[in-house]
Amino acid sequence: MKRAKIAVLAVLVTTTAVLVLLLAATATPRYYQSNVDDATQATTTITTTALEVTMRDRNSYVGAMLSPWDFIEDDIDEMRATAEFITEPDTSEYGSTQTVEIELTDENGNRTRWQAQLNIVERAELPVIEGVRDFRVGRGTTIAFRAGVTATHSAGEATLEIDSSRVNIMALGTYEVVYIARSPAGQVARTTATVVIGYAVEEDALRLITPILQDIIDDNMTMYEQARAVHTWIYDNITYNFAGPRGTVADVAYQGMNLRRGDCVTFYSIARFMLQQLNVPFVSMQRLSGYTRTTHFWLLVDVGYGWHHFDATNFTRSPRNGFMMTTEDVDGFNPWDWAIDFYAFDPEALPDGVEIV
């Protein structure tokens, strides 16, 4: 009987040892006392050293979205530790003060709890958008909607979104652009700008034409050489397209310079603006109806050798020497079988004193 009692006792001791080991293996995470006065958080004392941090109090504003790291002064690698609020801070009430408690866990699983003070000292403040303006541009103009526009917020950098999806720069009309700024807390401010797409005016066309003239024209050139340079540049740099823009001369010239393509009206309009800037005398010409299926535009110029035809249009079979064409050059010119007289015009309609060589 005495041996049986000893055997039972040995079994009880062994079972107890196993239970102790199991309890040790499934113990709750280790906590360390930090700047939290609640002693119940320090449940275990071990030799491994937990993270030590310096906390900082923070002033914030109504509606702020805060991170635990906002209250930690030290530069800690977030790959080696995590920080979580024990209770999410309440930033909804202006003038409130609260204690924020944060749990920090290092890469070894050691946890500490820390406290800091949060003061809500600013009312809800929307982001501020500055620099927004209305636009009035010619068709086809690329608009820099973001240029000069900023979005700021007292609590940090604000993001800026621009919705210009309603704007069609190729269609005449009035459009609205929406600017949207978001604060770090998600507060949103909106403002709008008006965009008027109209026919380009002379100033628009000259803004594109003037730099070209400055590049190809020399002050030492004769008027003949200047006109030749204009013809060559247009012929070599504008691509012919049967479907060209329609509008005022300034608008068509602007579209042609912007797109670098167009029909005879485009070539005519660009040439007219360039020659006008160089003070080259010119006369606008349009083919008489009934001679071909379509109409045609070109110029007469006088660069000191009498009035000559000036046509920089580079369509298929166009005259490469269209710079200074005489009456003999254009008479009966037929680039296509259906063109009876490509440069047909009424001599009686010419201005007084204009006689073509």
Each residue's pLDDT, cut to its tens digit, for the chain (357 residues) gives 444 443 433 333 344 443 333 333 333 443 333 444 433 333 333 335 667 888 999 888 777 778 898 899 888 776 678 899 999 998 888 889 999 999 999 888 899 999 999 998 766 678 899 999 999 888 878 899 999 999 988 767 789 999 999 999 888 899 999 999 988 767 788 999 999 998 888 888 888 999 999 999 998 999 999 999 999 999 999 988 776 667 788 888 888 898 888 888 899 999 999 999 999 999 999 888 766 667 788 999 999 999 999 999 887 555 556 888 888 888 877 766 555 677 888 888 889 888 888
Q: pTM, whole model, 2 decimals?
A: 0.54
Give me 78's structure tokens. Answer: 């977030």
pLDDT of residue 49: 64
Instruction: Please answer whether residues 135 and 193 qualify as being in contact, where contact means their C-beta atoms are separated by less than 8 angstroms.
Output: yes
Q: How many CB atoms lie within 10 A of CB 36?
A: 20
* pLDDT score recorded for residue 202: 86
Topology adopted by domain 31-122: Immunoglobulin-like (2.60.40)
Topology of domain 128-198, CATH = Immunoglobulin-like (2.60.40)
Across the chain, the runs of DSSP E, i.e. the strands, are 31-32, 58-61, 81-85, 97-106, 111-122, 128-130, 135-138, 150-153, 156-157, 159-163, 173-182, 188-198, 239-240, 261-262, 282-286, 297-302, 307-310
pLDDT at 2: 40
- To 5 degrees, how large is the angle CA 105–CA 73–CA 70? 75
pLDDT for 342: 78
Domain residue spans of the chain: 31-122, 128-198, 202-349
Which CATH architecture does the domain made up of 202-349 adopt? Roll (3.10)
On the question of a common fold for 31-122 and 128-198, the answer reads: yes
pLDDT at 5: 40
HSE at residue 295, side-chain half, CA atoms within 13 A, is: 11
